[in-house]
Structure 1
Amino acid sequence: MRSERLLSIMLLLQTHGQLPAGDLAARLEVSVRTVMRDVEALSASGVPVYTVRGPHGGIALMPGYRTNVTGLTADEARALFVLLSGHAHAELGLGQALGSALRKLMAALPAPHRPDADLASRRILIDPVRWRGGPAHPAADLAVLQQAVFNDRRLRLRYRHGRDNRVRSYTLDPYGLVNKAGVWYLVADHRGEPALFRTDRALSAAVLDEPVRRRDGLELAGVWESLRRHIDDIPAPVPVTVSVRREVLGKFLRIHQADLAGPPPSDPGGRPERVRVELHFRSLIAAEVLLAFGADAEVLAPAELRRALAGKAASAATVYSAVHSAGITPPNVRP
């Protein structure tokens, strides 16, 4: 415990210069007497720390002395601060420890590297929890997006939307980039409102010669949390009960992990042919994705969803039956 406090004293003096003993004591939550004993211990171990008496006095390190993280390039220092989102550390009970470690590391970095490291910590997040969707594609113009993010410049983006495949152009005020389970997203304001853009849907990007116009008091982490909750939180989920054939249960649970209403079903005794799985979806339309499993996943409830799936299955059967009976070759398929 004392060794950690001695290191904290050195890092505080290195970062802030001369500090009054009372200020150090308050920061470390110890008495002034304890601080003075620690200063004596540091001096005895060869650290060039000294005290200045008088009303403007305090404790300081000799000029030029520093506890340094040696050998780091600017890019390496920046990389250290591109971290997983706080959720993972909080779940492990390491949230406070992470913050403390970053403060110590920041203080120990060479002074020229500190601004880039601090900027990286506020402009880049890594969120490891996957959203359901297709495979990630290489992020288009990611270098250009980073340039806008790190230089605090507005961005002109041509973007293809996934919901309707239409291409639109936007002038954006970026907060930063988020890596969500291998997929990069740009978090930005569009006309003063928060918006989220998958970078692999960006057709082109150009950095404008205009300073960014973010809303006051907001940082990437806060805007991302708001957007993430809007996507993840289901205000009134639709409960769906499905009977899944055991042979495909593993695949079904992998695909619909995000839709589970509780923990995955346990293995019941007797190894029945089918297993009940409880899910929830944003809407009945969103739940129609279950039709992809065909008879391997039978919806038991709600009745409205059963009727909707039955209608879609009947329509598909009619189409394929007509094609088969007429010997028609589907479009774009050569015999």
Structure 2
Amino acid sequence: MRSDRLLATLLLLQTHGRLPAPELARRLEVSTRTVARDVEALSSAGVPVYVERGRRGGVVLMPGFRTDVSGLTDDEMRALLALTDGEQGGSLGRAVASAVRKLLAAVPEARRGGIARARRTVVVEQQGWHRAGQRTDDDAALTELERVVAADERIRIRYRPASGDPGWRTVDPYGLVSKAGTWYLIAAARGTPRMFRVSRVEEVAATGTPARRPDERDLEQVWIELRDRLEQAPEAVTVRVRVDPGRRAMVERVVTAQLVGPPEQDDQPDVVRLPFRAAGAAVGALLGFGVVLEVLGPPEVRALMAERAADVVALYG
């Protein structure tokens, strides 16, 4: 959007004072003609920016000019903070992030406490899980979660897990994380940091009591631990399962929380391929079905099923 580009131009000039038009064009990923039009638009809006000709010329911002940010709303500040905290794509990234930080430094002292709190409770990460992009969710609960998280309150959420019925949980939030456009609530549940997908939060209820987290770590530290634990999980495995077609839907519904992708039909009509996140997860999910289904492969998963089944027989036999 042009308004975003004009802001980026102003921030770059505020940081550097003077930049050659080709350099501005490179950083903004536009043509020099577009840069000239943007400079004209900024000048018409009252920004003291102009073009100097010659070998040492370029686009110049009058020395001493600073954008007045005292009128920024809290939502606008949160957006700027998200911009500085995330990994920015393109060649513009680091320069804009640095400029935004300097812009925020001009916020009046009385409002800096709220800014510091916002920095601790929001993380934006553009890279998708396992380097794959994800769709953006329509998160109805996000606005209310932002409010109670900023207030540092213990909250109750009605949460719908990937499998099973929704239920109420009392949690102590660290903050909110946007991962490739998908929002997560990071909170301690019964003293253990956990990740809750915001699109599965059906209701939010504030308790009016302060959050009581199990440790002094901030949001970013806890998020990195949870993220790395998930991304370093054992390698996924696709398991071939023979199951009565009439019971296939039930089996798929029960094991869906352990899958990393959709089930696929095998060449044989009564065989389905299930992509589990790990061999152990496959055995744990399938063993309870007993003789309703048969694991055909891979061999290591079939052998592990037999081993676990023998352990059960030994325990109860």
Q: Which has the larger radius of gyration?
A: 1
Give me the TM-score of the superposition, normalised by structure 2: 0.50
